[in-house]
Structure formats: C-alpha cells, structure tokens
C-alpha cells in the first residue's frame, strides 16, 4: 500500500503519523570518506613522495604511488584546490607540484604524536654501556652520532654538572704576542681563553710553562728549568685562568651549548643555493637563538618543530630550513634538549621516531651515571651561584693562586 506523508502507523501499540515515526527510527549513518579527508590524504601522499624523491609530483605519478583508487583527473582537481589554498606550488619545468612550508607543517603535525617505532636497528644502543663521570664528553659524542645518523646539524643544551675541577691546562701560540689557553676539566668540559704574551716564547718555553701548570694542579713536585721570565708568565697565567674559571663556573646564567655537523648540510641539494645555506648558517651560529629554541622545547616538555618562517623570530633573515627539538631527562625531569637543523624537505616521520629514541637513550645513560658517580647538576640562574664547595675553592685561593712579586 502506498503511504502518504501523513499516513498513520502502529508503533509500540500506538498510532502515530509517519513523519513522527521518521524522527524515532533514524537510519544508521554510513561512514564515507569525505572530500576533505581525500584532499588531506592526497596532500600527505604528495609530501611523502616529494620528501623521498625531491622531484615535482604529477597526478599520474601520485596515482601509481598508492592512489590507484583515484583517477588522474580527480587528483589534478585536488592539486588545483590545494594550490589555491597555499599548500602546493606548480613547477613550470615539469607541470608537477611541490609542497610549500604550509604543507610541510600539515605533514609534520600528522606524525608528531604517532609514536611509531623506529623502523631500523637502534643506532644508539651502545650509549647504554657508557659509564663515566665525563658526561660532557658523552653528550658531545652523542650529538656527533645523531648528526651522523641524520645528516643534519645538531645542537644540544646541558645543565651544569657540579663538583668539577680543572684537570689540565694547555697553551697554543697564535702569533708572537697571543696564545690560546685551553682549560680541560675532570668532567670533560673544555673552555678556552686568549691570553697576551709580553714576549715571544719558544716551543720549549711553552712546554716548560705547561709543566708548571701541571705541578701546580697536581701539587706534585716543583717545575724545573724555568727561566725567571717564563716563571713570571706562568704564575700570571695560572692565577688569571684559575680566577676566570671560578667566576665563570659560579656565574652560570646560560646553559652549556654543544654544536656539530653543519658541514653535513652540504650533502642536501636544497642547500646548493648559497643564499639558503647562508641564512641557515646565520641561525646555527647564533648561540642565543639556539638556546631560545631549546629552552622553549624544554619548557613545553615535548617534541617540537619549526619550519621556514616559523624561525623568523629567531633570526635576522628568513631561514629556509627546519628545526626539530626534543627534551631529555634526568630521573624523568627535563634538564636539556637536543635539536636538529636541516632543509625543509626532511623525512619528518622517521626523524620524529629517531629523536624519541635518542632522547630515551641519553636520558637513561645520563641518569645512570649521575647517580652512580653522585654528580649534582643545576640549571642557569640569574644570580651568582656559590655552593659550599665553590666557597671553599675561593677560600683556598692562597694555595691555588700565588703572588711572588717582590
């Protein structure tokens, strides 16, 4: 029987109108992939393909790369829409499309919190066997390893590890009246100071002064064969370097920063343009900007990325590069962060997994050694820091610093 809109029906022993029945019995919605979802899928697929090949992507190419369910005409329509929205640019040479920074951001966001396991063998497994109080050396070696694995420049911030002391002093002549003084600590930290020479020293004179430093630091024996003029220089240098180290050690207002691997960026075709390389170099060489990026990551306590213009507030120019950062921990407390700097065409998906693995490995290793060797650490402070040990060090200055002037 054909029913009109106002036909009556029996429902649960009640007589109701058909239009009311339609409100009670609602059809189960069928989940379908909407246009927006397909458009997003096409965008992510194009970015993924471009990251792998570095070549503009055409509709037929993308269709053959896992989009067989869409026609080439449909893909071209999506390309046109994405280009209009600012996600793609058309390459005039081939007619294919390339992603913009906006597209890279969408791609990176899509995989930022996926927690995908790293698909290859853990390259940082050897970190776990490290046992030493020279944590500064370990962090530098870890940064080198990360740079090697990613072909990116790496920068890493670290807290200040306490109870450290000067283990050795070396001199490197720069010219007739200047030398570079290298300060090496028991924890593997290296500091440098440029000192003025009142007279030109021979290589043998430099060695005798270094021997003087060794005798003073170890309190073993007396320096031998020093000329009176060399002894005066050695005493002056030793006193000056000790005071500079103590003041710098106590007045800790910025995290220690390690940087490495910038030359590896030359392997990327994206940086064959010297202007692009120069803008990235200016950012990498700006220690203040590097510290700000790492500080923000540590404060937010999660993996972060900056792509292209995102970095403009950290540089004088507009860097055409990307930065990825992740914090690391001592006993689950964020104490520093590590960053990667590379071109915008980076394998974000794989690098996110690798950075999480790196953070886990160095966090475990640093935590283990801090507790094993009873090492304290601290974060930067705006005021002068003097713990009991450092106060004693100052108080012992009569032993550390001498004045033999008549």
Average pLDDT in the 81-106 region? 91
- What pLDDT does residue 150 have? 96
Residues 329, 208 share a domain = no
Helix (H, G, I), strand (E, B), or coil: what is residue 44?
Answer: helix
In a domain, 405, yes or no: no
Residue 277 domain boundaries: 125-159+255-375
Burial of 351 (0-12, 13-18, 19+ CB in 10 A): buried
Last residue of a domain, one of 111, 135, 150: 111
In a domain, 119, yes or no: no
- What pLDDT does residue 161 have? 85
Greatest alpha-carbon pair distance for the chain in Å reads 125
In a domain, 214, yes or no: yes
Residues 95, 65 share a domain = yes
Residues 227, 328 share a domain = no
Residues 295, 146 share a domain = yes
Alpha carbon distances (Å) from 350 to 5, 116, 267:
58, 9, 18
Give the CA count within 13 Å in the CB-facing half-sphere of 405.
Answer: 5
In a domain, 380, yes or no: no
Neighbours of 389 (CB within 10 A): 12
Q: How confident is the model at residue 102 (pLDDT cuts 50, 70, 90)?
A: very high
In a domain, 77, yes or no: yes
In a domain, 211, yes or no: yes
pLDDT of 152 above 90: yes
In a domain, 120, yes or no: no
Residues 272, 151 share a domain = yes
pLDDT of 406 above 50: no
Could you tell me which residue, 11 or 53, shows the higher pLDDT? 53
Residues 366, 276 share a domain = yes
Residues 315-360 have pLDDT tens digits of 877 788 999 999 999 999 999 999 999 999 999 999 999 999 999 9
Most confident of 12-16, 115-119, 139-143, 378-382: 139-143
DSSP string for 320-338: -SEEEEEEEEETTEEEEEE
- What pLDDT does residue 402 have? 52
Lowest-pLDDT choice from 241-255, 262-276, 372-386, 391-405:
391-405
Residues 213, 180 share a domain = yes
Q: What is the CATH number of the domain that holds 349?
A: 3.30.450.40
Residues 302, 179 share a domain = no
Residues 367-400 have pLDDT tens digits of 999 999 999 888 886 444 445 444 444 444 444 5
Q: How confident is the model at residue 155 (pLDDT cuts 50, 70, 90)?
A: very high
- Torsion, Cα 9 12 16 22, to 10 degrees, reads -80
pLDDT of 309 above 80: yes
pLDDT of 59 above 90: yes
In a domain, 195, yes or no: yes
Q: What is the CATH number of the domain that holds 101?
A: 1.10.10.10
pTM tops 0.85, yes or no: no
Average pLDDT in the 175-192 region? 91
DSSP string for 142-176: HHHHHHHHHTSEEEEEE-EESS--EEEEEEEEEET
pLDDT of 310 above 90: yes
Residues 276, 143 share a domain = yes
pLDDT of 166 above 50: yes
Residues 370, 268 share a domain = yes
- The total number of structural domains in the chain stands at 4
Residues 274, 192 share a domain = no
Residues 264, 151 share a domain = yes
d(CA 384, CA 375): 20
């Amino acid at each position: 029987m054909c029913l009109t809109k106002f036909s009556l029906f029996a429902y649960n022993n009640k007589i109701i109108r058909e239009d009311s029945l339609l409100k009670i019995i609602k059809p189960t919605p069928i989940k379908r992939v909407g246009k927006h979802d397909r458009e997003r899928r096409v965008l992510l697929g194009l970015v993924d393909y471009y990251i792998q090949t570095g070549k503009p992507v055409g509709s037929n190419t993308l269709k053959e790369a896992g989009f067989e369910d869409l026609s080439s005409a449909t893909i071209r329509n999506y390309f046109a829409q994405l280009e209009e929205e600012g996600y793609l640019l058309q390459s005039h040479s081939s007619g294919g499309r390339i992603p913009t920074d906006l597209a890279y951001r969408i791609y990176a966001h899509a995989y930022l919190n996926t927690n995908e396991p790293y698909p290859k063998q853990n390259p940082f497994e050897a970190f776990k066997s490290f046992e030493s109080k020279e944590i500064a050396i370990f962090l530098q070696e870890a940064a080198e390893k990360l740079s090697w694995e990613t072909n990116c420049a790496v920068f890493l911030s670290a807290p200040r590890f306490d109870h450290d002391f000067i283990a050795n002093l070396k001199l490197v002549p720069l010219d007739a009246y200047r030398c570079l003084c290298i300060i090496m600590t028991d924890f593997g930290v290296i500091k440098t100071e440029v000192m003025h020479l009142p007279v030109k020293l021979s290589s043998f004179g430099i060695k005798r002064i270094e021997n003087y430093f060794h005798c003073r630091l170890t309190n073993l024996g007396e320096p031998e064969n020093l000329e009176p003029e060399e002894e005066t220089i050695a005493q002056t240098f030793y006193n000056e370097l000790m005071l500079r180290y103590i003041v710098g050690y106590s007045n800790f207002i910025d995290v220690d920063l390690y940087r490495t691997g910038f030359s590896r960026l030359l392997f990327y075709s994206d940086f064959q343009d010297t202007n692009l390389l120069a803008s990235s170099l200016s950012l990498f060489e700006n220690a203040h900007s590097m510290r700000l990026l790492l500080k923000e990551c540590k404060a937010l306590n999660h993996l972060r990325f900056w792509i292209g213009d995102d970095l403009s507030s950290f540089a004088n120019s507009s860097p055409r590069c990307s930065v990825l950062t992740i914090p690391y921990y001592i006993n689950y407390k964020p104490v520093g962060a590590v960053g990667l700097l590379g071109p915008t065409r980076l394998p974000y998906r794989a690098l996110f997994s690798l950075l999480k693995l790196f953070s886990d490995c160095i966090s475990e290793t640093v935590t283990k050694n801090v507790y094993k060797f009873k090492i304290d650490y601290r974060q930067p402070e705006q005021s002068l820091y003097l713990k009991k040990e450092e106060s004693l060090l100052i108080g012992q200055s009569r032993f550390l610093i001498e004045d033999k002037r008549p």
